[in-house]
Amino acid sequence: MPTPEVSGRAFLGLIHHLKETKGPGALPGALPQMPPSTREAFATRILHGSWYPYQAYVGLLTGLDARFGTGDGTYCRELGHSSGSRDLSTVFKVFRVLASTERLIRGCSKVWSGYYRDAGAMEAVRWDPQDTMLRISGFPEMAPVHCRLMEGWMTAAMNALGVEVLDGRETACSSRGAPHHEFACRWRKR
């Protein structure tokens, strides 16, 4: 059975935020305390189009949250927010220009597969402004720090689409016994 992997693009977004907010020495200073799988991934240059083990990504998120946050996942949410804002203004800018908010929400499966492989699938279950629900299924090993990152990413992505997110959070999680991960939000057009 294949093991989940994360694109270099996801790693580079975190690295970019870290350099911007904590300085260029922040990552080299934090890496020695991270798990071997994370240190191995960083033994060579992280490349945008390459794929890396999911456990290396989880190790990075956990290590950054412990070092620069409080260890409760809040810093991962901040990392996700930064990445979501940057992605929708750069990598996915064309989507933002060509489609309605609802259509972009329904197309979330394309975004997920650009970042993660052999890591389940994301689908829009509902996309009404008062009741939007995204579901990640087939990925029970998704780590809670990754869930917090996704909360931030989705909120920032929605804001970049030109809507105001009223609330956004994970409402079901495999780590808490649910069959899948669900993220709910309410939003309104600006």
Fold assignment, 99-189: H-NOX domain (3.90.1520)
Cβ-proximal residues to 101 (8 Å cutoff; 6+ apart), any chain: 158, 161, 162, 163, 187, 189
Looking at residue 190, its pLDDT comes to 80
**pLDDT tens by residue, 28-47:** 999 999 999 999 999 999 99
| Token representation of residue 81 | 């927010």
Chain mean position to CA 99? 22
Query: What angle is formed at CA 42 by the lines to CA 139 and CA 114, rounded to 5 degrees?
Result: 40
Looking at residue 158, its pLDDT comes to 83
Considering the chain, what is the average pLDDT of its residues? Answer: 91
Percent helix, strand, coil in the chain (nearest 5)? 55, 20, 25
- Percent over 70 (pLDDT), the chain: 94
**pLDDT tens by residue, 151-178:** 999 888 888 777 889 999 999 999 999 9
| Token representation of residue 158 | 């929605």
What is the 8-class DSSP label of residue 32?
G
What's the average model confidence in pLDDT over 67-77?
96
Q: Where are the domains of the chain?
A: 5-77, 99-189
